[in-house]
Amino acid sequence: MADTPFTPPDWLRQGFDHIWLPYTQMQDAALPAPIARTEGCRLIMADGRELVDGVASWWTAAHGYNHPHIRQAVQQQLETMPHVMFGGLAHEPAYRLATRLAALTPGDLTRVFFSESGSVSVEIAMKMAVQYWINKGERGHSRFVSFTGGYHGDTFATMSVCDPEEGMHSLFAGLLAEQILTDLPTSEAARQAFDDLLAARKGDIAAVVTEPLVQGAGGMLFHSAETLRFIRETCDRHGVLLIVDEIFTGFGRTGSLFACDQAGIVPDIMTLSKALTGGTLPLAATIARQHVFDAFLSDSASTALMHGPTYMGNAMGCAAANAALDLFEQDPPGPRADRIATQLVAELEPARHLPGVRDVRVLGAIGVIELDPHSDHDWMKAEFIRRGVWVRPYNYIIYTTPPLVISPEELSTLTTAMVDVVRLWGGKTQQEG
């Protein structure tokens, strides 16, 4: 893409003095790219330039943007009933969605609790796990086991089960609820350590919390289905609950509908969000197995789950999710993710031996180029936009998680830009060194 002078629109210049951006040091923040509309796998900037979206809006837009089936469902729901409170009232989109999710998720994950965001869905899962033990008369189970490299959200409880050294939450070290951090059991030594930990602490552990197959925000770190099976088996052996965070991995990203499917496991509690609505509206789900739900049943109101987000089960969000599930049923994501994976492996491989590259890896519709630390993110983002793509590096990785409907030509535009920018960055770093 040729260099084009950038004239920010008035709304961006004026609003920038009042906005607070995510994950951004605002003192020296650059103006973000102004997007006027979206279509398919593309972001159309205010000046008319088009960017192939390599991130699917933080992994949400699995079906691309403005899909007519999802759009029609949301429009129809808006015209009839955009929202009603979920306490004491019911509506078809939410109840139908709960029934469908119970049928799609593995095993007896049959009880669905809706909320508005992924972080909140994990908070709810953690609250369920602690109260599960309280309702069973065992109040001491208040700690959570999580893994090095893990990430589960930015709210207070979820920060406590993220890797404290990962970067975003290190400022809060010592201020969060104390949890138990350990290494993923990917080696014999780590497996033994994990088994010993659960044996020694099972009396105060509420649950183990993990991301299946991919630790996303921690650096797109991959582990095997065998590792996930071992975590489930060890939790079973010691009578510990397992929470699996499928917010990123769910709905085809790793090549199966859920990452748990590849390991053949059933978590006690699963969390879903992101691609659930096809990237249109905020919605999340915390889904519990029957034995977890049963622990909340009694003649006393004190054992009920006292939680209820204001926009819980939002009708438009549920309508969007039902439409997104229609599309997954009509065109299962597995073959599409496999096709993307094959192309990513072939087209990212040339980056492996470039200066400053530590690793190139692919899993399903996830492609990663891992760099040496201290990469220049702002420079890279500008270079990507200049090449007509939206790729957002973070920490020391450049990654793509494109919409599952991306065409081979659009994907090649992404991978070519990724390799070219890494090549330029490596040469620039060598010159500066």
Catalytic site residues?
23, 151, 245, 274
Report the binding-site residues for substrate: 58, 151, 274, 308, 392
Which amino acid, 238?
H
Write the CA distances from 7 to 1, 75, 94, integer angstroms: 17, 33, 44
Beta strands in 54-139 (DSSP E): 109-115
Sign of CA dihedral 294, 300, 303, 308: positive
CA dihedral of 380, 381, 386, 389, whole degrees rounded to 10 = 120
Contact status, residue 149 vs residue 225, Cβ threshold 8 Å? no
Burial (CB count within 10 angstroms: exposed 0-12, middle 13-18, buried 19+), residue 43: buried
Nearest Cα residue to 284 out of 60, 23, 109: 60
CB 400 within 8 A of CB 344: yes
Determine how β-strand 50-53 pairs with β-strand 42-45. Answer: antiparallel
State the binding site: 58, 118-119, 151, 245, 274, 308-310, 392
Neighbours of 91 (CB within 10 A): 18
Q: How far is CA 143 from the centre of its chain?
A: 23
- Per-residue burial over 275-292, b = 16 or more CB atoms within 10 Å of its CB, e = otherwise: bbbbbbbbbbbbbbbeeb
